[in-house]
Amino acid sequence: MTDSPYIIEVTEENFQSVILDGSMQQPVLIDFWASWCQPCQALMPLLAKLADEYQGKFILAKINTEEQQAIAAQFQIRSIPAVKLVYQGKLVDEFAGALPESEVRAFLDKHIPHEASEGENAIEQAYTLLMQGESDQAAVLIQQVLEAEPSNPQAIVAFAKLKATLGDMSAATEALDSLPREEQDKPEVAAMRAQMLFDKVASEAPAIEDLNAMLLADENNSEARYQLAAQLVMQGQLETALEHLLVLMRSDREYEDDAARKAMIQVFDILGGDHPITKTYRTRMFNYLY
């Protein structure tokens, strides 16, 4: 099925050498599949690609459950695709179903150190240059990676970050829109989109001092409160921004088609779903909704 040295078809004859003995040297990722299983057919090329990319940091052992029923029974396989990671003779982790690439990578990276590629190192360096204000040098590095790997999602995100930093939000949005669906769903992409939204609102809004004065004069000034929240986000005062958005959501749900609730979700994207502030304000938001 493949000429890759990192992918092995497993039978009862080589089960001992590949899975039991082999896992004493490096992790073995076992893919249980069958020819009739459509999700298996979707997952197989992804696992093969990752096995080659990781260059022997794990062995991909493929087991056809129709032909190797005894092995499937030994592992108590009841549905496929089923993927199990064995290391030093022990089952250390597993997942079921055809997961997207981002989730499979996360699964692997929990257990298998992945040495950064040249492109990844260049992108990391580009981010450092951007933070130092060296956008021209960062652009050169990002362009080099894109020329070598036009579909590299990390390079595309870095390009979007570069354009957003330079104020070209249209180009940044276009770059993010070009990403595959599974990449667009990643937290860092959602956070970047949120940051771009608040940056746009803040760039068109009065200064924070003026907005505070407007709210002192009229606490029901929905636009001033929304703009103030955006300004606070750009200043890194996310909890205070959420407090203003919560007030706006409670007092004026109709403002800009429920903009306050949508903006709160954008702030959650910036913070991350597990952040304590996110958990607190998500609960408070739901309490107001229902």
Q: How far apart are the first and last CA of the chain?
A: 55
Phi, psi of 178 (to 5 degrees): -80, -10
Of 29, 40, 51, 267, the catalytic one is: 40
Question: Is 18 within 8 Å of 76 (Cβ atoms)?
Answer: no
Of 30, 37, 201, 245, the catalytic one is: 37
Look at the block and give the residue holding tokens 């093969």.
Answer: 48
Show the tokens assigned to 25: 């040297």
d(CA 271, CA 52): 34
Task: Tell me if residue 37 is catalytic.
Answer: yes
d(CA 46, CA 119): 20
Show the tokens assigned to 186: 């990643």
Query: Which is nearest to 47 in space by CA: 90, 113, 101, 115?
Result: 101
Task: Tell me if residue 40 is catalytic.
Answer: yes
Cα distances (Å, whole numbers) of residue 12 to 65, 89, 146, 149: 12, 16, 45, 40
DSSP 258-275: THHHHHHHHHHHHH-TT-
The reply to whether omega before 39 is within 30° of 0 (cis) is: no
Q: Which residues contact 240 (CB under 8 A, 6 or more apart)?
A: 232
85 SS3 class: strand
Question: How many C-beta atoms surround the C-beta of residue 211 within 10 A?
Answer: 23
Q: So which residues are the catalytic ones? A: 37, 40
